[in-house]
Amino acid sequence: MFDWYQLANKKEDKMIQIRRYLHQYPELSFEELHTHEFIVNQLKQWSCDITEPVGRNGIVAKFNGTGDGPTIALRADFDALPVEELTTHDFKSKNDGVMHACGHDGHTAILLAVAEIINDNLEYLNGNVVLIFQYGEEMMPGGSQEMIDDGCLKGVDRVYGNHLWSGYPTGKIYSREGAMMASPDEFSIKIQGQGGHGAKPHETIDPVVVLAEFILSAQKIVSRTIDPVKQAVVSFGMIQAGSIDNVIPDAAYCKGTVRTFDTEVQQHVIDKMEKLLAGLAVANDIRYTLDYVRGYLPLHNNPKSYNTIKTAANDLNFRFNDSELMMIGEDFSHYLKVRPGAFFLTGCGNPQKNITASHHSPYFDIDESSLKYAVSTFLRILELEQVIKKS
C-alpha cells in the first residue's frame, strides 16, 4: 500500500493555493469560462489526454495505464453560487454577488492534486483513470447529463465522487450504501380566481383562501398517504397574492420543493398534488396551473463501491462513518444511473477555527486541512480498484 496521506500532504500547500485562487474568481453555473481555462492549463503540465469542451463546458483528462486494470472515473464540480460573500478572508470573492459557497473550489483543487500525484507515479498505473471536471452542478438541468451524453463515461467501469461537507468534522469520511441524497424537485402553482372588494367576498372567487386550503391539505400527502418508512418532504418557500388590504386579488401564487429518494414516491406526490388542485377547482370554481420540474435523480450508491470507499478510509486510518440520509440534491446521481459507483463526503467543519457555517451561506468556509483527506481517499480507492499497484 502506498502512503497516500503523505503524498497528499506534500501537495497541501499547492492545493490551498489553487483553492484560494479559484475562490477569488468564482463563476456561476454554465458561465465558468475562466475556471475552465485555468483547469485546462493545469492539466497540460501532465501526461494525460485532455478532451474539452465535453458537454457545454466540461473537461475530461485521461491517464492511460499499461496493465489490464479497469478504467475508473473520478469527478469534481467547479461552479459557484449567486451569493455575496461576507467572510473576511483576504482571498474572498472578487466577483460581486458570486461566491464559492459550497466547496467546489476545493473539489477542483483536490482532483488536480490527484492528477499530479498520478502523473508522479505513472509507472504504477495498471488501468486507466478518467478525471471529470464538471460545470453547472448548482443549477438544473446540471452539467452531468450533458457530459454523459457527450461520452465522458465511455469505457468507464466505475465512477466515484466526493463533496466537502462543513456539517461533518475534518478528518472523517462519510458515505452510505444505497440511497444517500434525494431528488430536489421544484414546483410553482397559480390559483386563478375572481377578485373584488374585500367587503363583498360573496361576489368574488377568493384565490387566497383556496391556496391556503391547498397548502394545508398538501401537508397530509406525506403524513397520511406515504408509508412512514419512505421519506418525503413537501415544503412551500414562496406565497404571493395581492397588494392591498381591502382588495381580494384575482390570483394567488406559490412555489415550493419536493424531496424524495424513490421515483415511485415522487410520482405519488405529483399525482396527489394534481388531484388536490383538481378537487379544489371543482369545489371553488377556480382555474389553476401546476408547473412541476423534476430535479436531479436521487443518489443511490452501489454497495460494492460503497464498501470500497469504506475500506479506503479505514485503510488510511481515517474515521469512517455512515452518512445520514440527506434531502439535498446532487447531480452526481446521473453518473450512477449509467455506471456503478459511489459518492462520499469529506468532513471540512472545524468549530475551533470557527468553520461551522452551512453550505450556501455567505459565511461558508472550509477547513483547508480537509483537502488531503479527500485526495488520499480517492487514491486509495484507485489502488483498491487495481488501477494503481506496485509491480
Q: How far apart are the first and last CA of the chain?
A: 12
Active-site pick, 27, 85, 116, 137: 137
360 in a labelled binding site: yes
Cα angle: 280, vertex 283, 287; to 5 degrees: 55
Nine cell digits for residue 292: 412541476
Our answer to whether residue 123 is catalytic in this structure is no
163 in a labelled binding site: yes
Contact 58, 143 (CB under 8 A): yes
89 in a labelled binding site: no
Cα→Cα distances 8→103, 117, 226, Å: 18, 8, 46
Active-site pick, 79, 146, 262, 385: 79
List own/partner pairs for 144-151 with CB under 8 A and 24 or more apart.
144/75, 144/331, 144/332, 144/333, 144/334, 144/335, 145/331, 145/334, 146/55, 146/56, 146/58, 147/54, 147/55, 147/58, 147/60, 148/334, 148/335, 148/338, 149/55, 150/54, 150/55, 150/58, 151/54
Beta strands per DSSP E along 119-277: 128-134, 158-169, 172-175, 178-181, 183-192, 196-197, 232-241, 247-248, 251-260
197 in a labelled binding site: no
Our answer to whether residue 32 is catalytic in this structure is no
- Indicate left, alpha or beta for 354 from its phi (over 0: left) and psi (-120 to 50: alpha): left
Alpha helices (H) along the chain: 4-10, 12-24, 33-43, 104-120, 144-149, 207-225, 263-284, 303-315, 333-338, 371-384
Contact 270, 260 (CB under 8 A): no
Phi (first) and psi of residue 56, to 5 degrees: -75, -40
**Measuring CA to CA, which residue among 111, 205, 125, 113 is closest to residue 163?**
111
Q: Which residues on adjacent β-strands are paired with residue 179?
A: 300
Cite the annotated binding site for Mn(2+) by residue number: 102, 104, 138, 163, 360
Active site residues: 79, 137
